[in-house]
Structure 1
Amino acid sequence: MSTYTKTMNPAQIEELEHRLKDCTKRKTPPYALYQYKTSDCVITAYASGKVVFQGEGADFYIDSLPSEKKSTPAASIKEQFPQCGSDEVGTGDYFGPVVVCAAYVKQEQVSWLKSLGIQDSKAMDDAYIRKIGNQVMSEIPHSLLILNNAKYNQIHSSHNMVAIKSKLHNQAYVHLQKKIGMLPSLCVVDQFVAENSYYRYLKNEKEVIKNLHFETKAENKYLSVACASLIARYAFLLSFDAMQQRYNFSFPKGAGKNVDISIQNFVEKYGKEELYNIAKLHFANTNKAKIM
């Protein structure tokens, strides 16, 4: 098990918690600001500014930290159109796929999108996303990638989560570029990894989209990223629905204790081999359910 300690400023600690909000939040230890449990790492932020990463995935989370904060772009850049943005969902869910979307927004679509109240999908009710999702998908040019669990488990045997996300974001932009002809000058990635590490993960890819803008919390700042987030969430919900219908089983979202119970119930009904097709097996929930 690896352990790393990094000194971070208050803004970086706050941004890190924002990135961990889909993970399991634990009882806060003494002198700590928060502690989160991911699939393969425990991350504890202390009031002193020290952040401790413990677990098999600790080195990957250290590597995924954004580099030192660059100057914030002028507000006018956020309102620059056309623009593209990419985001992903499902990485914090034990059940269900990983979905990445890159979306293209033109100036003439801005008023309509804002009238719909488009924002980060995590801040939007799933019922509303279901209501407007198909309409947004029909009007907004986009590239959508859905990585099912069987393929995810196969890839994860040789690629960590950050590498997988980097490759999916790049491929989404590659597909979008072919769809619309030429990408605009502003293409934003909701930052989950330092820019240099992102491109390092893509060193063996045949096509790599360069000159992307990386920014944390981009889904709340750029309309294109918000659209990508919404479309990805809508596709995730449809995939989740299909999975529940196929197995006639109610799968919980996230990776909490209720997931551990569902794993046991699912295995009793379908056998542990079938988990390979509907779950991210490297999550700690697999071991906690004591079925492997």
Structure 2
Amino acid sequence: MASITLTPSEKEIQTFVQQYEQALTPSKNPYIRYFFKLPQASVSIYTSGKVLLQGEVAERYASFFGYQVRPVASGQNFPMIGTDEVGNGSYFGGLAVVASFVTPDQHDFLRKLGVGDSKTLTDQKIRQLAPLLKERIQHQALLLSPSKYNEIIGERYNAVSVKVALHNQAIFLLLQKGVQPEKIVIDAFTSAQNYDKYLKNEANHFSNPVSLEEKAEGKYLAVAVSSIIARDLFLENLENMGRELGYQLPSGAGTASDKVASQILRAYGIQGLNFCAKLHFKNTEKAKKMLER
């Protein structure tokens, strides 16, 4: 969790208070003038004039006061590949994996666009950013459709090994384009030991070492770019399949997914779900039971 202390001007403080007035929360600390509970961060403005920002996205709110995110010299101040996947936790839609190659001279461009952890960005913002990133950043995108996912899960792959295969293939294909990264980072979805175990089953290999790091999309711009492009690809696929079936397919795996799944099941049978959903999720059985009522 990031923790940042700043001493902005009174004018900057008042501007911040006005902008985030709805997030103002009472504080029992007599030395705190204003306390804000914001998405994934908190901001305390003290009577001394100091401002304390804490949380996963503290840097994002600190930038309001002119705070500059400092590049991690050992982490991303050189050419690197970062990968991320989207769709793993969603019943509807495929599995999108993207590998992106980012160089230090692109950092300013990315920061000015507001590239960061895609989980802090709205889907609307992601749809705006993705075309700009795809145009400027070398990347390799892969999309495993739900029908193909259903075909291979349980026979050749499990939910983890299929992601190992996709991340490895995206990196392999990007390296084939001639990029020369000094580091390759995968947003960790399993242990390095598990990754290496499943990697042995893959046909394509490369000699570059790979690091698996948790919450890498918030640490490395290359991973953040991949996260945004992957989310855009996933959303586009979801929209296209929904349009073809005549239903709005929700993201995630909640009760909204159960309801739509039961409607598709009634209209098209299990073949309809096989086309647009990951059948091994519990939502499939829930949708079947909804039809029985």
Shared fold (TM-score greater than 0.5)?
Answer: yes
Determine if contact 1:87/1:190 at 8 Å carries over to the other structure: yes
* 1:89-238 equivalent positions in 2, closer than 5 A: 89-158=86-155, 159-179=157-177, 181-209=178-206, 210-238=208-236
Letter in 1 for 2:190: V
Question: Does the 8 Å CA contact 2:192/2:212 hold for their aligned counterparts?
Answer: yes
Q: Is the 1:80–1:186 contact (alpha carbons within 8 Å) kept by the matching residues of 2?
A: no
Between the aligned residues of both structures, percent identity stands at 40
Task: Flag the structure with larger Rg.
Answer: 2
Q: Which residue identity lines up with residue 94 of structure 2 in the other structure? A: P
In structure 2, how many angstroms separate the alpha carbons of the residues matched to 1:113 and 1:250?
32
SS at match of 2:201: coil
CA contact (8 A) 1:99 1:145 kept: yes
Which amino acid in 1 is paired with 2:243? Q
The structural deviation recorded for 1:213 is 1.4
Partner of 2:82, secondary structure, is strand
SS in 2 for 1:96: coil
Report what 2:8 is aligned to: none
1:98 CA displacement: 0.2
Paired residue for 2:259, among 237, 244, 261?
261
Give, in angstroms, the shift of residue 108 of structure 1.
1.5
1:1-21 per-residue CA deviation (whole Å, 9 max, x = no partner) reads: xxxxxxxxxxxxxxxxxxxxx
Quote the Cα distance in structure 2 between the aligned partners of 1:116 and 1:102. 19
CA distance, structure 1, for counterparts of residue 270 and residue 192 of structure 2: 38
What secondary structure sits across from 2:160 in the alignment? Answer: helix
CA contact (8 A) 1:94 1:259 kept: yes
Whole-angstrom distance in 1 between the partners of 2:276 and 2:93: 6
Does the 8 Å CA contact 2:188/2:216 hold for their aligned counterparts?
yes
Between 181-190 and 250-259, report the one with greater CA deviation. Answer: 181-190
CA distance in 2, matches of 1:120, 1:161: 23
RMSD (Å), alpha carbons: 1.5
Q: Deviations over 1:195-241 (max 9, x none)?
A: 12101101122222341111100000000000000010111111111
- 1:119 Cα offset (Å): 1.0
Q: Count matched residues.
A: 218
| 2:142–2:166 CA contact under 8 A, matched in 1 | yes
Matched, 1:85 2:50: no
Would you say the 8 A contact 2:265–2:287 is kept in 1? Answer: no
Q: Which runs of 5 or more structure 2 residues have no equivalent in the other structure?
A: 1-70
CA distance in 2, matches of 1:267, 1:129: 31
In 2, the alpha carbon distance for the partners of 1:93 and 1:177 equals: 29
Q: Structure 1, residues 160-180: CA drift from partner, whole Å, max 9, x if none? A: 11100001000000000011x
CA distance in 1, matches of 2:96, 2:74: 27
Deviations 1:103-147 (A, max 9, x none): 001122110100011012121110011112111111100000000
After TM superposition, give the deviation of residue 79 of structure 1 in Å. 3.0
TM-score, scaled to structure 2: 0.72
1:236-255 matched pairs, under 5 angstroms: 236-255=234-253
Q: Which amino acid aligns with 1:251?
A: L
* Unaligned stretches of 5+ residues in structure 1: 1-73
Distance 1:269 1:204 in 2: 39
CA distance in 1, matches of 2:189, 2:277: 22
